[in-house]
């Protein structure tokens, strides 16, 4: 399924015209493109914050070169790539068909010849991939597409470029999707590396999913799933015959006990039941050819390990240390980066012009839990964050530094950070960290005697500059700001620049923003406070304007609703333009003959998340009329009219994260939330 290009999307990359969006994920956006000869292709554009990482570019270049050598046996061919483009991109064969996930969702589990064809097709692809010295590392149903009924595997080899670059995965993270990961990918004490056997394990999970509609180690959480993969036998109920035995062997805990991809094919072709491939001669021919490919030795890449090896008695260790997993192309938060030791290289040249990159922006009054969270007080805690007197109060206790849990959004290129900062106690500094990756990032400190800016490498300050200042005496609030322009950070207070520092570490091209406090006396509790924070990336197209959710007047705006907390009386929303095709083309001056003008609805995102206070009991409505009379659908911009109970509204949002809603505000407070009708 394709979607219209967003106004800020590129219209051309190299020789390729971009026609529409196919999707987006952890590594970037995927577009439907047209090659010079008219052939349709899929163009994957790498995320901006990865684009400025020289190590990633090198790894990306190497892996793409390998991937282009993969023969076209049940694989989507890699056609072209430009690792040196401002935003690197990859061009692959466009497969016009549904994914295995979509097929199972619409038709239910597969059986007979159809199931056998999937098993053969995916094993054929793995034999071809491994024969070229490539490891897939993220085989899952979403990466198995059907073209005229024949399965094709996509996205092989590229996951390795991300995982092998150390700063893109923390020690508690890895690239992949948990349910399809082999046990050795969780093992920190073994010398085994994740290689082709890990892909064979994923093949077993994919085939079991195709046959039963569920994964064989499914748990209630990623940690529980990981523990089952490590300690429990697979649940293969519903899978029988020779295929059950072969899947069971592929899911062996020890990679040495698993068959290779060519061995899978030999068994599948020998045990084929009911002449399942008689109607698919091309698939049979590809499988027979791939079965004779000799695997190329692959230099395994060290894994980003998660926890200790888990025996049955030690599963709790994994559950305790299992912090996060990143699915490469799932619509989930993008992976974090890990900063290596600071580099002494010169500042990144301004010619890279990252100001053209549109990243996220957000606004939060910090007067209640919203995009920043509270942490509980404790006698032995390093510190805590509370919301008091309409501000975020940060207390350091047993540690000299404490940061509050905030949004996971990462910012690359030019950006501005502005916030009301207050030093509450004399020994404290109000601190802002930006481009934070793991335990590295840049730090600006606003202290009673001075203002500082430098590179914070896990508590060690590198290249720090200071300026004497008495602006931040205890109890005094000032508007502190950091503006990053052309790889130089400028610190201002109440609009006046006080110092600037070049951003010289190429490993910190992007990262999170954090707020916290520093205890300069390194003893006792110290406190700093923040209010009204704004984090903004540059706007690519200034002609696109979105509703202001913080305005004083009454307004109704369509939003993507990220969260609604009735206890804290707060919602987190992203304003969007929700247009029909005609309005879209009129607003953006697109000729009416364009296919987008015929679309029923088009969403234009702002990339701005706003924390909005809500009334104690805001009106909650929906378009889903329980009477069936159709009186509650409402309008395209006002949302449904039927009253809905709070529990049902919350359940809807939980089941549809980032669901579309109309939000009515008055004086910056939301008085009504209405589910949108989406045809």
Is the CB of residue 675 less than 8 Å from the CB of residue 639? yes
Q: Could you tell me the two tokens for 439?
A: 């335990």
44 known ligand binder = yes
Is the CB of residue 12 less than 8 Å from the CB of residue 45? no
Is the CB of residue 186 less than 8 Å from the CB of residue 192? no
The sign of the dihedral angle between the CA atoms of 633, 639, 640, 641 is negative
Helix (H, G, I), strand (E, B) or coil at 559: strand
CA nearest neighbour of 22 among 103, 105, 97: 97
Cα distances from 184 to residues 139, 254, 261, 266, 412, in angstroms, run 16, 8, 18, 25, 33
Cα distances from 171 to residues 150, 174, 303, 322, 598, in angstroms, run 38, 8, 9, 10, 48
Burial (0-12, 13-18, 19+ Cβ within 10 Å), 85: middle
Report strand pairing: 428-437 vs 510-519.
antiparallel
Q: What is Dmax (Cα atoms) for the chain?
A: 84
HEC secondary structure over 145-189 = EEECCEEEECCCCHHHHHHCCHHHCCCCCCECCHHHCCHHHHECC
Q: Could you tell me the two tokens for 524?
A: 């006792």
d(Cα 453, Cα 469) in Å, to the nearest integer? 13
Angle between helices 196-212 and 100-107 in degrees, nearest 10 = 20
Helix (H, G, I), strand (E, B) or coil at 473: coil
Catalytic one of 53, 80, 138, 329: 138
CA nearest neighbour of 306 among 225, 209, 403: 225
Is the CB of residue 482 less than 8 Å from the CB of residue 389? no
E strands, 623-655, are: 642-643
Helix (H, G, I), strand (E, B) or coil at 668: coil
Q: Please work out, in degrees rounded to the nearest 5, the angle formed at the alpha carbon of residue 430 by the alpha carbons of 429 and 433.
A: 115
Annotated active-site residue 199? The verdict is no
d(Cα 25, Cα 660) in Å, to the nearest integer? 19
CA nearest neighbour of 445 among 345, 525, 518, 392: 518
Report strand pairing: 391-396 vs 383-388.
antiparallel
Residues placed in the known binding site for ATP: 44
Residue positions annotated with a catalytic role: 138
């Amino acid at each position: 399924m394709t979607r219209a290009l967003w106004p800020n999307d590129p219209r051309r990359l190299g020789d390729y015209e971009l026609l529409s969006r196919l999707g987006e994920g952890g590594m970037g956006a995927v577009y439907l493109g047209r090659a010079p000869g008219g052939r349709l292709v899929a163009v994957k554009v790498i995320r901006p914050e990865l684009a400025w990482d020289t190590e990633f570019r090198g790894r990306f270049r190497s892996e793409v070169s390998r991937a282009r050598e993969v023969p076209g046996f049940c694989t989507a061919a890699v056609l072209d790539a430009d690792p040196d483009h401002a935003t690197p991109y990859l061009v692959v064969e466009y497969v016009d068909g549904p994914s295995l996930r979509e097929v199972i969702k619409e038709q239910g589990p597969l059986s007979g010849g159809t199931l056998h064809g999937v098993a053969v097709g995916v094993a054929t692809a793995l034999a071809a991939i491994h024969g070229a010295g490539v490891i897939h590392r993220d085989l899952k149903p979403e990466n198995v597409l059907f073209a005229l009924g024949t399965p094709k595997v996509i996205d092989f080899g590229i996951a390795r470029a991300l995982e092998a670059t150390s700063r893109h995965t923390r020690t508690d993270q890895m690239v992949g999707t948990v349910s399809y990961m082999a046990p050795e990918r969780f093992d920190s004490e073994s010398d085994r590396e994740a290689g082709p056997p890990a892909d064979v394990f994923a093949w077993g999970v994919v085939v079991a999913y195709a046959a039963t509609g569920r994964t064989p180690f499914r748990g209630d959480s990623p940690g529980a799933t990981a523990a089952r993969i490590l300690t429990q036998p697979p649940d293969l109920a519903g899978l029988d015959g020779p295929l059950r035995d072969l899947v069971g062997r592929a899911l062996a805990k020890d990679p040495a006990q698993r068959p290779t991809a060519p061995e899978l094919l030999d068994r599948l072709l020998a045990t084929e039941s009911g002449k399942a491939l008689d109607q698919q001669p091309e698939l049979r021919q590809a499988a027979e050819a791939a079965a004779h490919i000799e695997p190329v030795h692959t230099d395994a890449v060290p894994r980003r390990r998660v926890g200790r090896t888990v025996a049955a008695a030690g599963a709790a260790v994994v559950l305790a240390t299992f912090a996060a997993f990143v699915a490469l192309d799932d619509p989930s938060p993008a992976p974090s980066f890990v900063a290596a030791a600071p580099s002494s290289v010169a500042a990144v040249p301004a010619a890279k012009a990252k100001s053209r990159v549109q990243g996220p922006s957000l606004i939060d009054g910090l007067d209640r839990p919203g995009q920043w969270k509270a942490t509980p007080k404790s006698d032995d805690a390093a510190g805590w964050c509370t919301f008091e007197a309409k501000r975020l109060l940060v207390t350091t206790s047993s540690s000299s530094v404490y940061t509050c849990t905030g949004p996971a959004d990462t910012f690359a290129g030019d950006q501005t950070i502005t916030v009301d900062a207050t030093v509450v106690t004399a020994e404290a500094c109000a601190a802002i960290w930006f481009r934070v990756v793991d335990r590295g990032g840049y730090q600006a400190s606003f202290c009673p005697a001075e203002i500082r800016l430098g590179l914070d490498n896990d508590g060690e300050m590198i290249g720090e500059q200071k300026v004497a200042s008495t602006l931040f005496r205890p109890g005094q609030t000032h508007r502190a700001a950091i503006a990053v322009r052309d790889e130089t950070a400028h610190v201002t207070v109440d609009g006046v620049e006080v110092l600037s520092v070049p951003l010289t570490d190429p490993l910190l091209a992007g990262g999170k923003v954090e707020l916290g406090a520093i205890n300069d006396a390194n003893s006792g509790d110290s406190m700093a406070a923040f209010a009204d924070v704004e984090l903004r990336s540059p706007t690519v197209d200034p002609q696109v304007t979105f509703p202001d959710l913080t305005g004083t007047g009454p307004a109704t705006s369509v939003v993507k609703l990220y969260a609604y907390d009735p206890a804290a009386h707060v919602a987190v929303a992203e304003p969007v333009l929700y247009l029909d095709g005609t309005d879209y083309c009129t607003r953006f001056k697109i000729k009416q003959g364009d296919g987008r003008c015929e679309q029923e609805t088009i969403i234009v995102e702002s990339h701005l998340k706003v924390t909005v206070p809500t009334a104690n009991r805001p009106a909650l409505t929906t378009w889903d009329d329980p009477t069936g009379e159709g009186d509650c659908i409402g309008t395209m911009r006002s949302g449904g009219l039927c009253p809905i109970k709070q529990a049902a509204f919350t359940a809807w949002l939980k089941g549809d994260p980032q669901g579309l809603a109309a939000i009515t505000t008055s004086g910056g407070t939301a008085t009504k939330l209405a589910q949108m009708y989406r045809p």
